[in-house]
């Protein structure tokens, strides 16, 4: 063979071998992996979303969202905080408890978490101090279908912003907002990188209606950090202990942090809790 032709043949063989090495076989019965999409590319414009204020400011921005999606009418309002810069940034959906709101509890948590480099978004739920919006009414508190719809639509709004890495989104809530968080993770197990809550859990004999069921919790796959005061008389520690048992049985990575002498609201904004949550998020690749 002439030297030039021999060199060309060797080059073609090398290209073929490299191409073969670049392929990965998929085990029988498993779907082929889907190529990842851009983490910040919105799937569609968020028609109906109106922002007021600057999410990079100390006060953050407020927002309203009115639209009908898949037959569900949404009438939501909330707050949005963003680190300075272009991103893409990780994000967190923050959920308030009974009698709270996005403008009170959730804003306080968002102010802290934005310092960690997170975009923080929150909406009002049916158990807010002044119930409003849609879907749902005050008769649908906590882990109701209506509140899960509100929470996940809020998650989807992050996608439309253009500066959120949707592969790094967490969820955090307190009390009835913790119930929403658990139900949200159960309904959408692939959407969240990490999660945390305070004063939550699953239904127990002394507190049932607004909390998620054990069957719901058994479908959670997100690494989940639970925080609870041992003197909580509103949502008993037993509710989170039971949730931890369900997560253990299902093989879901989790931690239950118990705070001696702390009651229902002591842990909600605890500096120790926030430090542990930040470390948990870091452990699971949020930062």
| Distance from C-alpha of 64 to C-alpha of 39, rounded to nearest angstrom | 24
**Cα 30 to chain centroid, rounded:** 27
Give the class (CATH, top level) of 44-283: alpha beta
Residues sharing a CB contact under 8 Å with residue 57, sequence separation 6 or more, in sequence order: none
Q: What percent of the chain has pLDDT over 90?
A: 81
For residue 91, what are the β-bridge partners? 119, 169
- pLDDT tens readout for residues 117-155: 999 999 999 999 998 999 999 999 999 999 999 999 999
| Distance from C-alpha of 251 to C-alpha of 241, rounded to nearest angstrom | 15
| Distance from C-alpha of 283 to C-alpha of 287, rounded to nearest angstrom | 9
Domain residue limits, the chain: 44-283
Q: Which residue in this structure is represented by tokens 């082929």?
A: 32
- pLDDT tens readout for residues 39-50: 554 445 478 999
For residue 9, what are the β-bridge partners? none
62 burial level (CB within 10 Å; 0-12, 13-18, 19+): middle
- pLDDT tens readout for residues 65-96: 999 999 999 999 999 999 999 999 999 999 99
Q: Which two tokens stand for residue 61?
A: 């921005």
The model's confidence at residue 204, banded by pLDDT at 50, 70 and 90, is confident
């Amino acid at each position: 063979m002439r030297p030039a032709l021999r060199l060309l043949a060797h080059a073609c063989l090398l290209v073929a071998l490299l191409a073969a090495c670049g392929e990965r076989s998929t085990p029988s019965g498993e779907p082929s992996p889907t190529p990842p999409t851009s983490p910040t590319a919105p799937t569609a414009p968020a028609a109906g979303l109106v922002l007021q204020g600057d999410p990079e400011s100390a006060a953050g921005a407020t927002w309203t969202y009115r639209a009908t999606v898949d037959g569900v009418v949404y009438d939501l309002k909330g707050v949005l905080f963003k680190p300075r810069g272009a991103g893409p940034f990780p994000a967190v959906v923050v959920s308030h408890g009974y009698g709270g709101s996005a403008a009170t509890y959730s804003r306080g948590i968002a102010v802290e978490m934005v310092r960690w480099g997170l975009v923080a978004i929150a909406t009002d739920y049916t158990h807010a101090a002044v119930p409003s919006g849609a879907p749902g009414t005050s008769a649908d508190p906590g882990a109701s279908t209506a509140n899960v719809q509100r929470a996940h639509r809020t998650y989807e709004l992050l996608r439309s912003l253009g500066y959120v890495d949707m592969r790094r989104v967490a969820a955090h809530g307190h009390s009835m907002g913790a119930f929403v968080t658990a139900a949200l993770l159960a309904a959408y197990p692939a959407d969240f990188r990490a999660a945390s809550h305070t004063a939550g859990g699953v239904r127990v004999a002394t507190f049932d209606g607004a909390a998620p069921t054990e069957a719901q919790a058994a479908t959670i796959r997100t690494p989940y950090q639970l925080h609870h005061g041992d003197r909580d008389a509103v949502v008993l520690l037993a509710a989170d202990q039971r949730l931890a048992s369900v997560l253990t049985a299902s093989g879901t990575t989790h931690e239950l942090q118990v705070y001696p002498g702390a009651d229902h609201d002591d842990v909600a904004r605890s500096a120790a809790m926030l430090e542990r949550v930040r470390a948990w998020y870091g452990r699971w690749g949020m930062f």
